[in-house]
Structure 1
Amino acid sequence: MLSCEVSLYPMETTNSDQIINQALAALQNQGVTCEVGTMSTYISGSPEQVWQSIKTLYDTASSRAKELSMVVTISNSTK
């Protein structure tokens, strides 16, 4: 089991909320558990699923934003 906290920051855009929401929607078929908070999203699942979800978030957001920053904290703790 792996979990992560991830925050996306699209830059130089007026539609950052839309970019973030589209990236989060791309996770629906990843088989992970997602909890969306006000500042970040918590993702948990198998290591393969979590790593793929991080990549999906980045790829989806970066295809829509000119510049993007993404902060990820990863843990293998089950607590």
Structure 2
Amino acid sequence: MIHAEVTLYPLKTQNASRVINNSIETLDQESVEYEVGSMATHVHGNEDSVWNSLKSLFDQAQTSGGEVSMVVTITNSAKH
């Protein structure tokens, strides 16, 4: 199991919240557990599922808002 902390930064948009929320909704289609925080979203699951969910987040953000930066911290530690 791996854990990822991910933050999306939509650029050049007046609708950053919409872009972020649309991206987070893609996690419902993935085989991961996630918690949305005020500054980051924490994603937990098997390695392939977490990597796929990160790609889904980024792809949706691009589709919704164009330019986006995504910062991710990943660990395989049981204590995260």
Q: TM-score if structure 2 supplies the norm length?
A: 0.95
Q: Which has the higher helix share?
A: 2
1:59 aligned residue:
59
2:17 aligned residue:
17
Aligned residues: 79
Is there any run of 5+ residues in structure 1 with no aligned partner, and where?
none
**AA of the residue aligned to 1:37:** G
Matches of 1:54 and 1:26 in 2, distance apart? 10
% identical aligned pairs: 44
RMSD: 0.6
Does the aligned pair in 1 maintain the 2:34–2:43 contact within 8 Å?
Answer: yes
Matched residue of 1:64: which SS?
helix
Is there any run of 5+ residues in structure 2 with no aligned partner, and where?
none
2:68 aligned residue:
68
Deviation at 1:11? 0.8
Deviation at 1:66? 2.4
